[in-house]
Amino acid sequence: MRKAIIPFLAAIAAVTTAFSASAHDKVLTVYTYESFTSEWGPGAKVAEAFEKTCGCKISYVSVADGVELLTRLKLEGASSKADIVLGLDTNLVSEAKATGFFAPHGIDTSAVKVPGGFSDDTFVPYDYGHFAVIYDTQAMKKPPKSLKELVEGDANQKIVIEDPRTSTPGLGLLLWVKSVYGDQAGAAWAKLKDRVLTVTPGWSEAYGLFTKGEAPMVLSYTTSPAYHMVAESTDRYQAASFSEGHYIQIEVAGITKSAKDPALAKDFLTFVTGPEFQSIIPTTNWMMPVAATKEPLPEAFGKLVTPEKTFLMSSDEVAANRKAWIDEWLAAMSKN
């Protein structure tokens, strides 16, 4: 039965792709993560704006998140239809390059300004956010003012964090603590452990617990309060500004070697760093723009925490040490 179905489906697939390709002369296939293309995500607006100028059609393929994006590429290998991959973060850059699927972008990125000064010949940043502890002002009057205060503070004031083995924010906090504490990171985690209510597999579970009131703090982004202020008009949830500085997450896009029309792909990357795309990002992806926007950011963004110091480790350093640091984290967090 299955044997009969596979060639049948393959035939349908061939026919439909052939058909959709002929309907528009040029198609740009963009691989991205799911929240980019969801109803409120930037996907639709971005496609509309770019299609006006390029005489082409954007086709999105979306997977769960940035890490899954890389996995998907590895699974697809050379047969991938991706022209553009949008949604990896700086921690994945070194691994993504190692796959050999990406080509140098060759565009002018002088307009792009990200804290921490990331620049790369293969990947172009399109937005960024600093990791931050978000707290509930109704449950917590005195939020920690530094990572040190978070680590050493009252163990009854709990925080929900994400697991660095399975999630990007979890890995972000791991690198943050490492940047601040260095060799003492293990000891810091052992101390922070008492304050950690639980470690969730991903951001959604952690944020869900937080908004349900289970813990007064959660690890998220400095931009999270902007969502609550803009979409829910409440300033109940605020980011705690840490005096040591904040670790940054920079999201990047790149062109694949197998891109069908490299010139078109390049145009798209240039568009990504341009004012139109950058204006769409803040209130759809809830991240900070990396270049000038067409109109000023909504007022709420002005109220956000802007870290004085930004931590960013090179992705080679992260790739080389991730396993050892996760082991250190596991050892410290598993002690009784």
Q: Is 83 in the site for other proteins (CB under 8 A)?
A: no
Name the helix (H) or strand (E) containing 46.
Answer: helix 43-54
C-alpha closest to that of 273 among 51, 124, 55: 124
* DSSP per-residue codes, 131-192: EEEEEETTT-SS--SSHHHHHHS-TTS-EEEE-TTT-HHHHHHHHHHHHHHGGGHHHHHHHH
CB of 130 to other proteins, least distance (A): 17
**Residue 41 is a binding residue for other proteins (CB under 8 A):** yes
Decide: is 12 part of the binding site for other proteins (CB under 8 A): yes
Choose, by CB under 8 A, the member of 131, 176, 207, 325 that binds other proteins.
207
54 or 196: CB nearest other proteins: 196
236 binding other proteins? (CB under 8 A): no
Q: How far is the CB of 203 from other proteins (least distance, A)?
A: 7
Question: Would you say how long the chain is, in residues?
Answer: 336
Does residue 308 interact with other proteins by CB under 8 A? no
Least Cβ distance, residue 154 to other proteins (angstroms):
12
- Nearest residue to 134 via CA among 198, 192, 217: 217
- In the bound state with other proteins, the residue whose beta carbon lies nearer, of 61 and 297, is 61
Q: Give the interface size with other proteins as a residue count (CB under 8 A).
A: 74
Q: For residue 298, what is the DSSP state?
A: P
Binds other proteins (CB under 8 A): choice among 46, 49, 58, 70: 70
Q: Distance between CA 120 and CA 73 in Å, rounded?
A: 20
Q: Which is nearer to other proteins, 115 or 172 (CB)?
A: 172
Identify the residue among 208, 262, 274, 275 touching other proteins (CB under 8 A).
Answer: 208
| φ/ψ of residue 19, rounded to 5 | -65, -50
Q: Which amino acid is at 52?
A: K
48 binds other proteins (CB under 8 A): no
Q: Does residue 260 touch other proteins according to CB under 8 A?
A: no
